[in-house]
Amino acid sequence: MKTGNGLVDVHAHFTTRDYIESAKAAGRVEPDGMPEDFWPQWTAEAHLDLMDEAGIARSMLSLSSPGLHFGNDGAARSLAREINEFCAGVVRNHPDRFGQFASLPLPDVDGSLAELAYCFDELGAHGVALLSNHSGVRLGDRRFEPVLAELDRRAAVVLLHPTTCLGHEALSSGRPQPMIEFLFETARTVVDFVLGGAAERFPHIRLIVPHLGGVLPLLAERIELFRMIDGASADRTTVAELLGRFYYELAGTPSKTQMAALNSIAAPDRLLYGSDYAWTPREHAIHLLHTLDTVLADEHDDWRALTTANADALFADSPALSGAAGGAEHRGLDL
């Protein structure tokens, strides 16, 4: 996937009217504690307009929290197929501007395996988007091993996205989860993925951690200390080394302090750009992009070129883009 000088946005979201209505009917009227009118009314035309203004060459579209499983496996399978077909249609209509991260009906493992195969092999998806927990089951849980094993076999790109966790009412003190809790939820999930062994059992999964890693970079040394106290083998792969294998996208509220923390676990070739549009409104997405220009000015001669080159390498090296998981004719990519 060659994108020239434009940015590649790996954290870009879409919605559909039917999806929003399905979520509301399932009780998700206020998404993750945000007001009802915060639901974004996404269109490809508005997204392309933002991309043109921001200098974004390609956006990898994904569904965000609250996901699509609202308690019924059959309904979730149907909604996943509807959502994935819609997104694939957007990519077909704009093959040079959009890519697709497929949605899976987890925690339904069998349904997710079937949808995963369909999205890679028939729709030509470029990766999948998974939530930090699905009905309370975290990404690295043994119950999800068949899905993780298949993603590992395909060396799939996986965008992690935080979502509301069980017990959020007490944790968030009534505030919207995206304000504070999402950053901790990301850390909990990635720490569990590492300490539970999934990161080492499935080393070919290309995991993208969102929002500059949340609070994760601040915890790496502390987690390693407790592993030592617990008697971990001296020749083990360290927490920092395992975290350094992941990719980290820069959506959120970047600052020099946050970047210094992220740099402690992520090398420059692991950084990717993310806007978080359309859940981050257009004017804020543009403002945060210019903030990155300021924050990263002293660290990188051209952070935009750096993250674009990283994205090109990430996706060009994926079997899903090289023809192993579906024909390039479905994707319309410049391979």
DSSP state letters, 24-77: HHTT-SSGGGS-GGGS----HHHHHHHHHHHTEEEEEEE--TT-S-SS-HHHHH
**Which of 259 and 229 is assigned the larger pLDDT?**
259
Annotate 173-234 with DSSP letters as a single string.
Answer: TTS-TTTTHHHHHHHHHHHHHHHTTHHHHSTT-EEEE-GGGTTHHHHHHHHHHHHHHTT--T
pTM: 0.91
pLDDT at residue 223 above 60? yes
Mean pLDDT value across residues 22-32:
92
Q: Do 101 and 67 form a contact (C-beta atoms < 8 A)?
A: no
pLDDT at residue 303 above 70? yes
pLDDT at residue 236 above 90? no
Q: Which of 35-39, 155-159, 314-318 has the lowest mean pLDDT?
A: 314-318
Q: How many CB atoms are closer than 10 A to CB 298?
A: 8
Peptide bond into 254 cis (omega under 30): no
pLDDT at residue 317 above 70? no
Mean pLDDT value across residues 107-127:
98
Provide the edge-to-edge strand list for the sheet that holds 56-62. Answer: 7-13, 56-62, 98-103, 127-131, 157-161, 206-209, 247-249, 271-272
What local confidence, expressed as pLDDT, does residue 18 receive? Answer: 96
- Indicate the helix (H) or strand (E) that contains 9: strand 7-13
Q: Which of 126-140, 183-197, 217-231, 246-260 has the lowest mean pLDDT?
A: 217-231
Half-sphere exposure of 309 (CA within 13 A, CB side): 7
Q: Do 2 and 305 form a contact (C-beta atoms < 8 A)?
A: no
What local confidence, expressed as pLDDT, does residue 4 receive? Answer: 59
Reported confidence tier of residue 328, pLDDT bands at 50, 70, 90: very low
